[in-house]
Amino acid sequence: MEEHDGRLPKQKKVKVVFVLGGPGSGKGTVCAKIVEQFGYSHLSSGELLRKEIKAGSEHGTMIQNMMNEGKLVPSDITVRLIQKAMQETDNDKFLLDGFPRDEENVRTFEKLTKIEPDFILFLDCPEEEMTKRLLSRNQGREDDNIETIKKRFRVFQESTLPLVNYYASKGKVRKVDAARPVEAVFESVKTIFSSANEQGA
Ligand SMILES: Nc1ncnc2c1ncn2[C@@H]1O[C@H](COP(=O)(O)OP(=O)(O)O)[C@@H](O)[C@H]1O
Ligand SMILES: O=c1ccn([C@@H]2O[C@H](COP(=O)(O)OP(=O)(O)O)[C@@H](O)[C@H]2O)c(=O)[nH]1
Ligand SMILES: [Mg+2]
């Protein structure tokens, strides 16, 4: 048996909120505001994947091809990137923006991190509004074109929404009407995070 001095091993008990919503629903925008007001660290799996492409990493080309088709990158790759980013961040509260996107993402995340989310913030927005936002986002993203947008909506409907419904059945979803102006959306989000704070969640 390993000898130790009685102290617990260095362990972080982390709190995680999954921030879900269709492409262009405003996940990144609202996460930035939650960070300012509630001290979470913001990890966007999409951003982490785009960094891999830029860095020309081992899986960069494959990731780029998947993204341009609006398809989901294999869970192993995404989860490892998230896990690494969490370990490198000196915080115990994380917003996972745009993750998980399907059931396999969840299974892989739970297997590798043993973390269960506190709750799911769900930004509910009609496709028409999301399309308008994506087409005027101007971030130079190759996947913000109408063909790829349609594919991304389909993946969201078929793979991500069932997950949201699953978490809703466990009482874990906090849904917000995301079709309103940013300030109004954030007012609702603030209420949710304030009450989560009070409950020590
Ligand atoms: N509530 C809102 N009303 C109008 N435009 C918004 C709103 N939230 C975000 N946007 C804009 O819509 C685009 C998509 O937002 P973003 O936060 O990148 O969404 P997501 O991360 O969900 O794809 C951005 O140009 C952003 O400035
Ligand atoms: O966990 C993730 C996050 C993103 N993506 C890929 O990256 C793209 C862009 O995701 P992001 O969250 O950045 O887009 P948004 O929803 O914000 O428009 C998606 O369409 C997928 O191809 C993925 O496969 N897994
Ligand atoms: Mg985003």
Q: Supply the mean pLDDT for the chain.
A: 94
169 annotated ligand binder: no
Report the percent of the chain where pLDDT is more than 90.
Answer: 90
Most informative mutation of 18, 29, 148, 152 for ligand 1 (most atoms within 8 A of CB): 29
99 annotated ligand binder: yes
Banded model confidence at residue 9, pLDDT cuts 50, 70, 90: low
119 Cβ contact partners less than 8 Å away, ≥ 6 residues apart: 17, 18, 172, 173, 174, 192, 196, 201
The reply to whether ligand 2 has any atom less than 6 angstroms from the CB of 72 is yes
Please say if the pLDDT value at position 3 is more than 50: no
72 annotated ligand binder: yes
Atom 23 of ligand 1: nearest residue by CA position: 24
105 annotated ligand binder: yes
| Segment 90-123, tens digit of pLDDT | 999 999 999 999 999 999 999 999 999 999 999 9
Buried b (16+ CB within 10 A) or exposed e, 104-129: ebbebbeeeeebebbbbbbbebebeb
Atom 15 of ligand 1: nearest residue by CA position: 26
| Segment 78-95, tens digit of pLDDT | 999 999 999 999 999 999
Nearest to 51 by CA among 67, 74, 31: 67
In one-letter notation, the amino acid at residue 48 is L
Banded model confidence at residue 13, pLDDT cuts 50, 70, 90: confident
pLDDT value for 197: 80
Please say if the pLDDT value at position 184 is more than 50: yes
131 Cβ contact partners less than 8 Å away, ≥ 6 residues apart: 24, 146, 149
> What's the burial of 138, exposed, middle or buried (CB within 10 Å: 0-12/13-18/19+)?
exposed
Q: How far is CA 7 from the centre of its chain?
A: 34
Provide the edge-to-edge strand list for the sheet that holds 15-21: 41-44, 93-97, 15-21, 119-124, 173-177
State in Å: Cα 22 to ligand 3 middle.
Answer: 9
The reply to whether ligand 2 has any atom less than 6 angstroms from the CB of 160 is no
Most informative mutation of 34, 99, 133 for ligand 1 (most atoms within 8 A of CB): 133
Range with the poorest average pLDDT among 21-25, 32-36, 140-144, 195-199 = 195-199
Interface predicted TM-score (ipTM) over 0.90 = yes
Ligand 1 pocket by Cβ (under 6 Å): 21, 23-29, 133, 137, 181-182, 185
